Amino acid sequence: MEFEGFPPQIADQLHYLLNHSPDSIKIESVCSGNKFNPKILDRFTLVIPYCLETIKWDVIYNSEYAATPPDFIFGPDDEGFMPCSSTIAPDDGQTSLLEKALSEWNNEDSTRLLVLIQGLRDRYVAYQRSRVGQVDDDRVKFEISTVLTRKGIEMQMTSGVDKPEEVKFAVPLVMDMSINKLVVGCPWKHEQKIYLQVVYPILRKIESAPSAPRLRLVSSSDLRSLFSVEDVKLPPWIDGMCLAEYLPHLEETLERQILEAVSEIFLRRSFVEALTPFLGRPLEADPTFCTKASFLAASGPFTFVVHFFFSNQFPKQQPTLMLQSCQHLNQFSVPVKSSLLTEYPWSPRWEVGRMAERLCDFLTDEAMNFKKYCNEAML
């Protein structure tokens, strides 16, 4: 992101914040509060991940007095959040983090805004945990008592005019393996994580039986190239069950499915290798997750490229194909391409050698159809 218009010190702090924060913080609604030079930017909104949702904090610098730390305006639902109050200090270490960030503020130090945001976020975690702890709901209180030993849990109390009160938990799932280390040549800079979001509606006094919580899996975005949590069928929530009982079974299920996803990388790679006797070595291929590969093919004098796209469900779901001519350009001087092809002989029970052979038999016939399509596209 470019920081044109910001004073150099603010620009340096923003650059450091966005590139070094452990959370994927974003910036929006940039504007100026300078009366004399409105082209100087010194106000913006930070979009900060919290409890698998986001919160927004307005940050207000004073470009005329750049040596002072910025002011903050928190969200409309957080009017009770007073970060400098000792009543929500989580512990001595986190208290000193915020106090140190304020007392030792140095606008020449590019790390200061990040330290300040981390201190405020720590206080916000404590503030929300305090709010949830005051909820008059026996089930929520019991759930808190059973999972507090887990590290990294975040909680949030939500309510509104048109929606009932709810308590949200964001629970980092613990597995006996490092996902990053399972992938050969892993390109990820940060350890991949999976969270369970649990939403409890607050039980009204007139209601006798609590309803099951709403459950949703969320993962770090990079993990999707290996494993999609959207495809996971969550274990059923049995009446009377608590979160401490549910989590171990879910974590075992995820461990098993992640290991299967890793094994499917090798299966996709084996399939690409099985294509080599028919199509030659690939022009290019995804070396890490093997999600795509491209081969140069020919039918007589007609040459074309075959693009293979693999889903995480391979071989249950066959590859999607697309053909691209090496000899025909459309009116925009772009190579003519086929539509996506998914209808061809395929069985996930076949060995990869037979999969490759049957698919290449299909390509022999499809090449003639594609050549005709390319010639018609030139008319």
Average pLDDT of span 364-368 = 93
The predicted structure's pLDDT at residue 322: 97
* Cis? peptide before 315, omega within 30° of 0: yes
Task: Give the tens place of pLDDT for each residue, 273-293.
Answer: 999 999 999 999 999 999 999
The predicted structure's pLDDT at residue 357: 95
The predicted structure's pLDDT at residue 96: 64
**For residue 128, pLDDT beyond 80:** yes
Q: Is 247 in contact with 237 (CB distance < 8 Å)?
A: no
**For residue 176, pLDDT beyond 80:** no
* CA dihedral for 118, 120, 125, 126, sign (positive or negative): positive
**For residue 353, pLDDT beyond 90:** yes
31 closest CA partner among 1, 69, 63 = 63
The whole-angstrom separation of Cα 18 and Cα 106 is 18
The whole-angstrom separation of Cα 54 and Cα 71 is 20
Q: Is 368 in contact with 299 (CB distance < 8 Å)?
A: yes
Q: Is 101 in contact with 116 (CB distance < 8 Å)?
A: yes
Same domain, 98 and 213: no
Query: What is the C-alpha radius of gyration for the chain, rounded to an integer number of angstroms?
Result: 27
The predicted structure's pLDDT at residue 159: 74
Same domain, 124 and 147: no
Q: What is the CATH number of the domain that holds 63?
A: 3.10.110
Torsional class of 280: left (φ above 0), alpha (ψ -120 to 50), beta (otherwise): left
Domain membership of residue 364 (yes or no) is yes
pTM of the model: 0.79
Same domain, 202 and 237: yes
83 closest CA partner among 107, 62, 55, 64 = 55
The predicted structure's pLDDT at residue 197: 94
The whole-angstrom separation of Cα 158 and Cα 167 is 6
Packed helices 352-377 and 243-279: angle between N→C axes, nearest 10 degrees: 70
pLDDT band at 337; cut points 50, 70, 90? very high
Taking the C-alpha atoms of 81, 195, 20 and 105 in order, what is their torsion angle to the nearest 10 degrees?
A: 20
Same domain, 50 and 160: no
The predicted structure's pLDDT at residue 149: 83
Average pLDDT of span 186-203 = 85
Average pLDDT of span 265-278 = 94
Q: How many domains does the chain have?
A: 3
pLDDT band at 364; cut points 50, 70, 90? very high
Domain membership of residue 369 (yes or no) is yes
Same domain, 53 and 142: no
195 closest CA partner among 214, 179, 227, 172 = 172
Task: Give the tens place of pLDDT for each residue, 282-331.
Answer: 999 999 999 999 999 999 999 999 999 999 889 999 999 999 999 998 88
**For residue 346, pLDDT beyond 90:** yes
Q: Is 191 in contact with 223 (CB distance < 8 Å)?
A: no
Domain membership of residue 279 (yes or no) is no
Which residue segment(s) compose the domain that 345 sits in? 291-377
Mean per-residue pLDDT of the chain: 87
Only one residue has tokens 């075959």, namely 306
The predicted structure's pLDDT at residue 181: 85
Domain membership of residue 44 (yes or no) is yes
Last residue of a domain, one of 129, 161, 191: 129
